[in-house]
Structures are given as C-alpha cells and as structure tokens.
Amino acid sequence: RAGLQANGHASVWEEKIAPRMKAVSVWAMSCAQDVLSNRKESCELFGYDFVLDSHFNVWLLEVNSSPDMAATTPVTEKLCHTCLYDTVRVMVDYKLAVNHQNATRRGCPPSP
C-alpha cells in the first residue's frame, strides 16, 4: 500500500485491488466446491497467487492447497506470521463462539 500511495494511487487498494481479490477468491472456491472435502473439526489454508497489470487489474495465477509458509524475505516473514496468527485467532474464536452458542441453547452458563 505504501508503494501505491507513494505513486499517487492511495485509494486503488481499497477501491479496486482488494475487492477484486476477494471476489476472485470466492469465485475460485465456488468453482471447486464439488471437489473439496468437508472434514468436520478441521480447516484448510489455501494460497492465492495474484498479479496486477499496469491498470491495477487483478489476475489469478494459481491457487495452492498447501502453500509454503516459510518466511524467505522480510515481506513474506510479515505476511506468513500475520496469516498464521489470524488463522489461529479465527479458529479459536470460532470454536469459543460455537461452544458459547451451544451452551446458551442448552440453558447452561457459558464457560469463561
């Protein structure tokens, strides 16, 4: 984002790039939903490789079902750490929310 801002394109990430990446990611999963396994109590992390053209159009190169999370550069170090941290937060928060919801339905006091 800093590079975009430094080159006079401060809003292009929020207005064009990020929304398109999200839409393409949803489209890719929709296309593959019939061949993806639904395993209870588990999740899978997918890696999306995108490229931008000179007009900031987003192009999907590939989707990896087992992305390499090794930090090989300062940029990937920050990205991989943030991704793994957020993944764990989502999984733990989701599990706690489901447990709270189930306990409330049964009339039990939620655990702290």
Mean pLDDT per 10-residue section of the chain, whose length is 112 residues: 84 94 95 84 87 96 90 89 86 70 59 52
DSSP structure string for 6-60: HTT-TTHIIIIIHHHHHHHHHHHHHHHTTTS---TT-----EEEEEE-TT--EEE
pLDDT at 8 (0 to 100): 85
Q: Element (H or E) spanning 105, and its range?
A: helix 74-105
pLDDT at 19 (0 to 100): 96
pLDDT at 5 (0 to 100): 84
Amino acid (1-letter code) at residue 22: K
